[in-house]
């Protein structure tokens, strides 16, 4: 099947998925690029369509989805990138039950009103690399299915549950014995001085105003910095937190 018209119903539907309102109305999102599509195909998510530009040859395994082709001109109309790789997957938005992922052990990330899609995508990728159990987004955080978030996650969105919820998730975690940490420039404790190997949740705050759920944080720590920079990008701070947690786990398990 080759689509050559912008008036095609599928093309109209995909265009709507660029917008958050459209994604949730249709109950679907899309990912672009060979890496993301192949990772999606290995996941348990329900794929509706694989869309490829005319002449593109990618070894797509068999599945319960439809493969359609478009002209290069049409593909560029539905793409969210300037120079698309000419392949995308249209996927049903998963419905995660958050209580399934709240356990008495594990490492969790709380993304608190993070607005930059590149930051959230990088946090997802980092959390995946360091074995985080789940990510919860709260307080009007950027939509996890934003195409820029998905690109920045480099396929990690298919390895780790990312669940939009409310700040009540912190109370649920605390009730299960999970200790909640956040960074604060004037904190007395340094991150490596605390036991953060397991049973921990890290709150990562808004790029401009920081953490908004301070009353629900158990302990504030700071990352030691000896240079002149006043603060770190939130995704870099997340990387340091999660690496230190992983480091402590490795030491404990040896």
Residues 175 and 85 in one domain: no
Residues 243 and 136 in one domain: yes
Residues 88 and 102 in one domain: no
Do the Cβ atoms of 144 and 113 come closer than 8 Å?
no
pLDDT at 209: 87
End-of-domain residue from the set 62, 92, 122: 92
**pLDDT per residue over 83-126, tens digit each?**
999 999 999 999 999 999 998 889 999 999 999 999 999 999 99
Residues 118 and 235 in one domain: yes
pLDDT at 68: 95
Torsion, Cα 164 95 48 5, to 10 degrees, reads -40
**For residue 1, pLDDT beyond 80:** no
CATH at 14 = 3.30.1330.30
End-of-domain residue from the set 92, 122, 139: 92
Domain count within the chain: 2
pLDDT at 55: 87
pLDDT at 103: 87
Give residue 198's domain range: 98-253
Residues 145 and 27 in one domain: no
**pLDDT per residue over 232-248, tens digit each?**
899 999 999 999 999 99
Give the span between the Cα atoms of 136 and 119, in whole angstroms. Answer: 15
Tell me the chain's radius of gyration from C-alpha atoms: 20
Provide the pLDDT confidence category of residue 186 given band limits of 50, 70 and 90: confident
Q: What is the largest distance, in Å, between two alpha-carbon atoms of the chain?
A: 63
Residues 147 and 177 in one domain: yes
Mean pLDDT of the chain: 94
Residues 206 and 225 in one domain: yes
Other CB atoms within 10 A of residue 76 CB: 15
Give the span between the Cα atoms of 69 and 187, in whole angstroms. Answer: 55
pLDDT at 62: 85
Least confident span in 22-36, 136-150, 181-195: 181-195
- CB proximity list for 159: less than 8 A, separation 6 or greater: 39, 43, 128
Other CB atoms within 10 A of residue 141 CB: 22
**pLDDT per residue over 168-179, tens digit each?**
999 999 999 999
pLDDT at 12: 96
Going across the sheet that includes 2-3, the strands are 2-3, 66-70, 47-53, 87-92, 28-32
**For residue 210, pLDDT beyond 80:** yes
**For residue 231, pLDDT beyond 90:** no
């Amino acid at each position: 099947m080759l689509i050559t018209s912008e008036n095609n119903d599928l093309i109209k539907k995909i265009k709507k998925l660029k917008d958050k309102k459209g994604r949730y109305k249709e109950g679907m999102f899309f990912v672009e690029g060979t890496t993301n599509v192949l990772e999606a195909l290995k996941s348990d998510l329900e794929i509706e369509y694989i869309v490829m530009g005319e002449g593109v040859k990618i070894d797509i395994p068999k599945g319960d989805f439809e493969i359609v082709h478009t002209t290069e001109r049409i593909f560029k109309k539905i793409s969210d990138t300037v120079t698309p790789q000419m392949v995308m997957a249209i996927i049903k938005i998963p419905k995660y039950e958050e209580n399934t992922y709240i356990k008495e052990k594990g490492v969790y990330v709380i993304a608190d009103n993070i607005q930059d899609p590149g930051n959230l995508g990088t946090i997802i990728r980092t959390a995946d690399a360091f074995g985080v159990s789940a990510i919860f987004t709260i307080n009007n955080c950027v939509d996890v299915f934003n195409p820029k978030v998905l690109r920045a996650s480099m396929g990690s969105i298919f390895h780790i549950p990312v669940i939009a919820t409310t700040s009540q998730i912190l109370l649920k975690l605390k009730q299960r014995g999970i200790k909640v940490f956040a960074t604060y420039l004037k904190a007395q404790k340094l991150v490596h001085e605390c036991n953060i190997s397991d049973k921990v949740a890290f709150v990562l705050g808004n790029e401009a105003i920081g953490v908004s759920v301070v009353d629900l944080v158990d302990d504030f720590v700071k990352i030691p910095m000896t240079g002149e920079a006043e603060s770190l990008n939130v995704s870099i701070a997340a990387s340091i937190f999660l690496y230190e947690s992983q480091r402590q786990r490795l030491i404990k398990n040896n």
